[in-house]
Chains A and B, each alone.
Chain A
């Protein structure tokens, strides 16, 4: 017994990482081709290239690889091959990965604060930039949300207390129901776990539905588009990447729901559930910052 626990465990070799690297290459190569073929602004055009086949192939490859790679890991876990040390490695790995995601959003929040606090006021002549204002766009008025750009593009600002507030309520509630689900899992209460996880999923997908609704409204009625200047750029970049992360988180939780139905999450072995829950809470916190900095103030 003592020997067994002090012996280090190293997992078997696996073909999946290498194939995943190929799939990632196809995504990158395909996406670059696809965007050059299909983007409206047309800085460069690359007619007749193969992006529309390679990109989906790469994405499919990544999905299949995730399935088989995680399947192997789950099997090893169910076969009790993972030590407590391995479990700690997974936890730490997930937390550091989430930290990297925080920094990714940090880049866009940084851009938002920079343009709001410095770039836009400078274009309007603030600080030492009176001549910048005078020489470039003397008629430009600095304001935020920037509804009239120096170049003349106009848009409306997205109000905070309609759909965005509803979405805040949805997402915060989903974090609460997810915590209830987690407690139920630890306590071994299967029904409470399934019900509260299901409610979490409903709330998450409702959030995504309203987000799409908001985008449609922005594009068709408000003139708030990616082309509408820096307000639209920061708005869509931040909410768009957030929405993408909600989609990823909701997918993870859906898989957790299916695994819970199958009964392979146990009170003392459910790292995947915790990792998904951490991810969901992270996405929730990002939204709170978004609501305050993008919509409200």
Chain B
């Protein structure tokens, strides 16, 4: 990627001109172009090979303070003109909203720095190489232990794309991205019981992707340790979240600090800016410019510069994540967090969100627990963003006197997110950026576990 990534200027310029002709007072347009390819292997044989390309245009037109959005894949000249006219007409029928507007020119990103988001060198990887990587990954998983008798397969995928954006506020920019991913899901059986787990990695550069052998081995280890799982009695107990499940807690928090939930008054973190919402062990950063980050971008979906935003610093809520509209509603400034699917209205969302690593190794954290559950998997949707009430299915490993003992399943863990963040006693040193939201191991003082 570079700042000079070709902007499809004729098309986007034509869209903005067509919007003006149709009577729109303002407009913006995003063009997303993607190609992707994947290969999946199961039990050593090719299962699925998939190839695709997409090109999609999204347009928003304003009629004063009223706006409408639309998207299309039909990019013929005549069709685009008609399409834009329809959007402008639709905007004129919607109620005016005093805060709906494009960002002011002063808020627009002056540049588009190269954030290392595209690895073009690996773009020419062949279909056979994709199959081979998936095959090696699954083979590595199944070779770990004879109890690994079946598989949901392994998959290698890659995609490359370009996002171009222009608005009548005066912004034009484009950037390119690539991504590579690898995953494996082996199945283990023992004494009539069957368990499945998985592991994956994803990266913007192929060279930084974990090897097929590493991904396969970790998938196998995660699956094997679920064998022999049983229920434990209902009790209040210490909970240790592994990095994967700890990251899900950050996603719940992200929803509650994002603009939409706040102006709708449907966030458990409403009106808490500046308050202690977590223990002092907790510092959470949103960084839209993390080099090579899976959610990095030089500018947001409204052309505003992305940035590094400390959201929680040593437990104190320092910033919300905002787009232009939510910021105006709340009397604050945008934080460059506008995101949009091609055909939708921009809305605030986190970029690369992470919990800053703490001093303790994950082994030391487990060793410090007398009785508790080490959670490796969560299921279901039992999280209420309005109240913070939390109740989810969990599986993991029982901790007894600092030792990981037997596998646990068919239990729930419940509490309230605000209470849970305040009860974080330890944060691990094992932070790895594997997805757009990342966390190290986390220890929570006490939650309700429901089991037998």
- Asked if chains A and B come from one complex, the reply is no
